[in-house]
Homo-oligomer: A and B are copies of this chain.
Amino acid sequence: MVTATLTLDNPVFRTFIGYAALVLLKTCLMSIFTSIHRMKRKVFINEEDAKSLGGKIDVKISTHPYVERIRRCHLNDLENVLPFVLLGLLYVAIGPSQGIAILHFRIFTISRFLHTFVYLGAVPQPARALCFLVGFLVNISMAINVILVSTF
């Protein structure tokens, strides 16, 4: 196994950072999506938000099924995308085969974008379960590869 570095000289790292930034960008955008729907449906969770944005019209401190769905989708990203970027960094550092590594990053990225569309669109199961499972297995595969070359 060669010494792989976390620099642009390493083509696997150069590819990884693109996919990692893409899924992190998608995760961050969920916050904006939540805000838009909170304003559109006038359901706020903080009193100061309801006061400021409500004005004279009826604004309530409450939940809305669709806003809660976006929140769950966002939390699912935190649970899967953040470990992907962390495990991906460690995986790049152990010097995996370029082809197999890029396959991991591509499959994860596609599965997470599909997961979001399926979740927000409430597509019947097992669509979401499959999208989740594919991304999950990529994470497990990277974790096992890393554990196998590490010294405890």
- Tell me the A residues contacting B by CB distance below 8 Å: 1, 3-9, 11, 13-22, 24-25, 27-28, 30-32, 35, 45-49, 51-53, 69, 72, 74, 78-80, 82-83, 85-87, 89-90, 93-95, 122-126, 128-129, 132, 136, 139-140, 142-144, 146-147, 149-152
Q: Is the CB–CB distance between A8 and B149 below 8 Å?
A: yes
Q: Is the interface of A mostly helix, strand, loop or mixed?
A: helix
Q: Which residue of B lies closest to A32 (CB)?
A: B136
Q: Is the CB–CB distance between B31 and A46 below 8 Å?
A: no
How many monomers of this chain does the complex have? 3
A15 to B143, CA, bound (A): 14
Q: A24-B87, A25-B143, A94-B17 are in contact. Are A124 and B8 (CB under 8 A)?
A: no
